Structures are given as C-alpha cells and as structure tokens.
Amino acid sequence: MHRHITGFSNPTVKHLRALRDKKHRKRFNQFLVEGLRLVEDARASGRLPRTLVMAEGRSHSLIERLEAEVAAAGGEVITTTPEILSKITGKDNPQAIAAVFDAWDTRLERLDRTAAPIWLVAQALRDPGNLGTMLRTCDAVGAGGLILIDDCADPFSTEAVRASMGALFTVGLAQARWEDFLAWLRSGNGQLVAASLREAVPYRGAPYQAPCFVLVGNESQGLPTAYEAACDLKVTIPMRGRADSLNAAVAGAVLAYEVLAALAP
C-alpha cells in the first residue's frame, strides 16, 4: 500500500515518532530504523520493514527495489515531506528513509549455543552505543550473538541499532534475568568467562573452551561479586595506568578477540 502524508498531526506520524520511546516500542513490538544502509542490511538478512517512510522526491534504485519488495510483502510505503521525516526521526538532517520493523523474540531458548564458539554476554549494560558496538563486535569475531542480562539498554533503540551497523539483524540476540541465564547455560555445554581483578589468570593464553561465553559487567559497577563467582574462568586484562577498568564494549572486544585466536584461529 502506498500513502502520501503531509500532515504533522497524522496518527501514523505520531506513532512513528513515538517509536523513539522505549515504552511505545514495547507496546507495539516495533522499532524504527533510520537510513538506507541499515534498512538494506536488514533486507539482506531477510527482514523487510512493515512500513517504509521516504522523503518525497528522493529516488535511488535501491529504494525503488525496497519499495517494491515491501509492497509485495503486504507492507506500507509512505512518502512524506522532509519536515515530517525530521519530526519522526528527531533529526534536523534526517536520512532519506526510515523504516518500521517488527521486533523479534529474544528468549534464550531461541539461541543455538552450538552454532558458534564465542558468545558475548552483557550485564546491566546501560549505554545503547556500547550495546550496539558489542553487537558489531559479535559479527566481527563470528560470535553467535549477544545475551543481555538484567536491565540493559534497549537493543531496539535507534542508537543501539545505529551503533550495531546492521549487526542487530545478523547476530543472535537474547534477553534474560541472571538466574534464567545461568540455568540455561548450565543445561548444556558452555564456559562462562569474566574479566576480573580477583583470583584471575592472564587473559592471554587462558584455557578458553567453546562455546565460550564472555561476560562483561555494568559500565560503572562492573559485575556483582556473586556473578563473578559463578564464572568458570576469571581472566585479567592488563591495566598499566591509573584506572582499573576499560570501557565495557572495549573489554568485551579485547577478550572476544583473544578467545577467537584461541578457539578459531
């Protein structure tokens, strides 16, 4: 279906704009993606938007293909003014397109732990940029995906999607409480590894085993002691300076690349 919208107070505009808000995303189980590149990444991984919104007058062969595919799949294609697209995205210079996708099931049970030698696990990760960066790192190291423990930033927020550079669409994603994660982990093979300053071995050359779950804690608090205690392996990343921690996404990546070298060189 094709529609042209010119009114700021149009209910669809209000709905799309509200998708910047987490509650609204949860309620409708939808999220907003900005920019042709990310929408193309989604398409390449087999996901089409339910709604495609374009500024009028913008044309591009990729956009035309998208339009046709979205319409063929029963989705809606909306053209609107650049001003309304600005209002939807909250940006002064919005990308030429935005798209609404259905969010998907992020239960742990959907993950196949045997599918990859490495998994990233983040606990109480608050920054959506860090979250997206960890998804991107998952893609780079060939990890199965990212498991979000306890209250994390929303992986379907615009900032997380953008920072993931499309990896949201290609790597696994799960959300769980700690107890549920631990029960799931212990129901099969899996080594839980955390960076730690206590009773830890050097991260280089540590005895990593697949599937290896690399656990990273909250940006300011780090991991709760009880969570650390539940790990199979604690490793130390050298800290040669004044501080005792790295950015969470950086710590996850440094460990993940070490695990990659050990398990899938």
Residues of the shown chain interacting with its own copies in the complex, contacts defined by CB under 8 A: 41, 44-45, 129, 133, 136-142, 163, 165-167, 170-171, 204, 237-243, 245-247, 249-250, 253-254, 257, 260-261, 264
CB atoms within 10 A of CB 205: 11
State the Cα–Cα distance between residues 215 and 210, nearest whole angstrom. 14
State the Cα–Cα distance between residues 103 and 84, nearest whole angstrom. 24
- Indicate the residue among 49 and 172 with the shorter CB distance to its own copies: 172
Q: How far is the CB of 87 from its own copies (least distance, A)?
A: 22
- Indicate the residue among 52 and 141 with the shorter CB distance to its own copies: 141
- 116 neighbors 141 (Cβ within 8 angstroms): no
- Closest to 78 measured CA to CA, from 17, 157, 27: 17
- Indicate the residue among 84 and 122 with the shorter CB distance to its own copies: 122
- Indicate the residue among 75 and 155 with the shorter CB distance to its own copies: 155
Q: Quote the tokens at residue 141.
A: 């190291």
Q: How far is the CB of 177 from its own copies (least distance, A)?
A: 27
CB atoms within 10 A of CB 183: 12
State the Cα–Cα distance between residues 168 and 131, nearest whole angstrom. 10
Q: How far is the CB of 251 from its own copies (least distance, A)?
A: 9
The residue type found at 133 is T
- Indicate the residue among 108 and 138 with the shorter CB distance to its own copies: 138
Q: How far is the CB of 244 from its own copies (least distance, A)?
A: 9
Q: How far is the CB of 242 from its own copies (least distance, A)?
A: 5
Q: What number of helices (H) and strands (E) belong to the chain?
A: 10, 12
Instruction: Decide: helix, strand or coil at residue 255.
Output: helix
CA angle, residues 124, 211, 197, in degrees to nearest 5: 50
Q: How far is the CB of 246 from its own copies (least distance, A)?
A: 5
- Indicate the residue among 43 and 67 with the shorter CB distance to its own copies: 43
Total residue length of the chain: 265
